[in-house]
Amino acid sequence: AFRLYLNVINRKTAEDLARERVEAVQQVARSIAHEINNPLAILQNYLSILDHRLAGKPDIHEELVMFNAEISRIGNVCAQLDDLSGTPPPHAASPVDLGSLLQECLGLFQQSLFQHQKITSYLDVAPQLPTIPSNPDLLRQIFGNLLKNAAEALPVGGKVWLRCESIGHDRKPGTEGIRITIEDNGPGISPALAGKLFRAGVTDKDGGHLGIGLAIVKKLVTELGGSIDWCPRSGGGTCFTIDFLTNI
């Protein structure tokens, strides 16, 4: 009986410690999110002022709108830090044109990382694709992580291919969807990492990379009701495929 009592005490102590750790991490996360959101609000205010002062210059206006949208996305990511319970919060869904969204994300990288490294990108979007009910901010986070990984893996002058196409029409009803494919001709994935690529902390990059990008991608794709897989690209490199049903 005494041994059973000790086991109960030890179990409760372990549960209390685990709960305290989670609460401590949540408190730190909320503090970080709060401190990040303050300068973000200031930046958005200055962007609004610049947009007003530069009225009549549509090209600059479009770029400022893009900057403002990315700052808002940072704020949305910070808001996710409030919920570290492991249970994903419900995500607001709206009709999303995946081809247009993919083109938007690619445009951001073409003007930054891709341009700096002389990376050539190719985008192929099938015509008349249906929209899917999803969260565009989380999709931007997914595509952004994959494109960033490609840019970091590629040498100067590398290439990236993106495709957006319909799938499932030759299978049973209810399996129709859209597939996004992102390929690069980089060095590929090390065989040692092949079976654990989507685990947090797994990376073969140096320079302080944490190896959490693909784990985040996998988590977000799953939360949005999709699936993700990868394979070596024929001819060298890596190929990621993401499938979303159109009738969820």
Q: What is the pLDDT of residue 206?
A: 63
Task: Give this prediction's pTM.
Answer: 0.72
Give domain limits for the chain: 2-80, 94-245
- CATH superfamily to which 94-245 belongs: Histidine kinase-like ATPase, C-terminal domain (3.30.565.10)
Handedness of CA 139, 143, 146, 148 (dihedral sign): negative
Looking at residue 135, its amino acid is N
Q: What is the pLDDT of residue 122?
A: 96
Residue 218 has pLDDT above 80, yes or no: yes
- How do residues 69-120 score in pLDDT, each as one tens digit? 878 878 777 776 655 444 455 567 889 999 999 998 998 888 788 888 999 9
**In sequence order, what E strands does 50-197 have?**
94-96, 120-125, 132-134, 159-167, 177-184
Which of 148-162, 191-205, 223-237 is the least confident region? 191-205
Residues 6+ apart with CB under 8 A from 94: 133, 134, 135, 136
How far is the C-alpha of 53 from the C-alpha of 42, rounded, in Å? 17
Q: Which of 237, 216, 232 is nearest to 139 (CA)?
A: 216
Structure tokens belonging to residue 92:
């607001």
